Amino acid sequence: MATLEIKDLHAEVETEEGSKEILTGVNLTVRSGEIHAFMGPNGSGKSTLAYAIAGHPKYNVTSGSVLLDGEEVLEMSVDERARAGLFLAMQYPVEVPGVSMSNFLRSAATATRGEAPQVRHWVKEVKQAMSDLEIDESFSERSVNEGFSGGEKKRHEILQLDLLKPKFAILDETDSGLDVDALRVVSDGINRYTESGDKGVLLITHYTRILKHIKPDYVHVFVKGQVAESGGPELADELEESGYVRFTEKKEAAAQS
């Protein structure tokens, strides 16, 4: 069983007016077998947290730690983090012109598995994963994400998840922009990934609709760069009903006192 522990994490971003603190002390522990839904207002720092864990160079971690089974993730390079079992599905997946989807997936699988998958086996594996996600085979020869629709990009993030099977997956708004059928296909993909019972998921989302397909064990409300409250699935229902006012007001009152 694996554990991802985020302890008092502070991070800032460089802006034209100097550095600006976005993460103001994040504490969160995700264990394998757990699904954590992560909700919070726009601009609260959810994607920043995802990037800081993944090692995006734009975000400067000023203090705190991220431990994967006790190992300091912040001291690892980006590819070491991936090989250690961390995966990030980005809110806005990047286009990589000139690199075919099939080459990209094979290189990623080779790097994370430590050896190149056997060709015959690999072809079958990719075909199956694409068919499960209702992705047409013609996408294999297209450049990574180039010209893909928003929903197609999101499906391909889950295709990577399916093939790479990381220990921990951070899924940043994988449900945004999906039509109802695609939401079901993508949710089924995430559920297939977690069914082995030894994976941990941090599911960043704005909508409870995905939580009808994927049952979270915990729900966290993220406000102004930190976890303001944690609870069970009922917390997501409260947010849907009443919004974030209760949490943002509490933060403002705390800041003034």
Ligand X SMILES: Nc1ncnc2c1ncn2[C@@H]1O[C@H](COP(=O)(O)OP(=O)(O)OP(=O)(O)O)[C@@H](O)[C@H]1O
Nearest approach, Cβ of 249 to Mg ion (angstroms)? Answer: 22
For residue 236, CA distances in Å to 26, 29, 166 come to 19, 19, 26
Distance of CA 192 to the CA centre of its chain: 16
Strand-pairing partners, residue 88, are: 170
Kindly write down the DSSP assignment for every residue of 111-162, as one continuous string. Answer: HHHSSPPPHHHHHHHHHHHHHHTT--GGGGGSEETTT--HHHHHHHHHHHHH
Rounded least distance, CB 123 to Mg ion, Å: 35
The yes or no reply on residue 227 touching ligand X (CB under 6 A) is no
Query: What is the number of alpha carbons within 13 Å of residue 133 lying toward its C-beta?
Result: 29
Cα–Cα distance for residue pair 149/205, rounded to 1 Å: 19
Name residues contacting ligand X, limited to 86-145 (CB under 6 A): 91
Residue 37 interacting with ligand X (CB under 6 A): no
Which does residue 42 bind out of Mg ion, ligand X, none, counting CB within 5 to 8 angstroms by kind?
ligand X
Q: Kindly state the number of chain residues that form the binding site for ligand X, as judged by CB under 6 A.
A: 13
Smallest gap from Cβ 174 to ligand X, in A, equals 12
Which residue lies nearer to ligand X by CB, 162 or 172? 172
Q: Provide the minimum distance between the beta carbon of 146 and Mg ion in the complex, in angstroms, as a whole number.
A: 22
**Shortest CA distance to 166 belongs to which of 73, 39, 48?**
73
Q: Residue 18 pairs with which residues in a beta bridge?
A: 15
Q: Out of ligand X, Mg ion, none, which partner does residue 224 contact, by CB within 5 to 8 A per kind? A: none
User: Measured from the CB atom, is 42 or 257 closer to ligand X?
Assistant: 42
The nearer residue to ligand X, 32 or 48, going by C-beta atoms, is: 48
Q: Which helix (H) or strand (E) holds 236?
A: helix 233-242
| Closest by Cα among 181, 223, 187 to 208 | 187
Q: Is 257 in the site for ligand X (CB under 6 A)?
A: no
Question: Minimum Å distance from CB 59 to Mg ion?
Answer: 13
φ/ψ of residue 92, rounded to 5: -125, 85
Binding site for Mg ion (CB under 5 A): 46-47, 91
User: Quick check: 45 binds ligand X (CB under 6 A)?
Assistant: yes
Q: Counting contacts by CB under 6 A, is residue 46 touching ligand X?
A: yes
Rg (CA), the chain: 18
Q: Among 38, 40, 129, 133, which residue interacts with ligand X (rule: CB under 6 A)? A: 40
Binding of residue 47 to ligand X (CB under 6 A): yes
Residue 157 or 162: the one with the smaller Cβ distance to ligand X is 157
- Footprint on this chain of ligand X (rule: CB under 6 A): 13, 15, 20, 22, 40, 42-48, 91
